[in-house]
Amino acid sequence: DAGITQSPRYKITETGRQVTLMCHQTWSHSYMFWYRQDLGHGLRLIYYSAAADITDKGEVPDGYVVSRSKTENFPLTLESATRSQTSVYFCASRNRDRGPGYTFGSGTRLTVV
């Protein structure tokens, strides 16, 4: 029972490079989310998806791109990384018919130098 898997766990990249963070869930949950965690801000929603091919912006979407061609995958791409995108990124999922619970991945710590 793998649940929800994020990769990589740690990533260092240079300013201006494109980087993709991966998220894979094994339950076929309808909803998937990307959050970033920063000290003093808690977790803020970047993008979310209600189903394959349906995505929507969250609170802090600028500089990020998402796609969801398959229900189980929800990659997050930083098109041109900036130092302000140094953060811990969490993927989460939930099933619309299974109550209010969420399942989180273990996070990716991204450092942009």
Binding site for other proteins (CB under 8 A): 31, 33, 35, 40-45, 48, 50, 58, 88, 90, 92, 94, 96, 100-102, 104, 106-107, 109
Q: Toward other proteins, which CB reaches closer, 65 or 88?
A: 88
d(CA 70, CA 83): 30
Distance, in Å, from the CA atom of 29 to the CA atom of 50, rounded to the nearest integer, reads 9
CB of 89 to other proteins, least distance (A): 11
Spatial distance between the Cα atoms of 84 and 77, rounded to a whole number of angstroms: 15
Question: What's the closest the beta carbon of residue 107 comes to other proteins, in angstroms?
Answer: 4
Please measure the distance between the N-terminal and C-terminal CA atoms of the chain and give it in whole angstroms.
36
Q: Least CB distance from residue 16 to other proteins, whole Å? A: 27
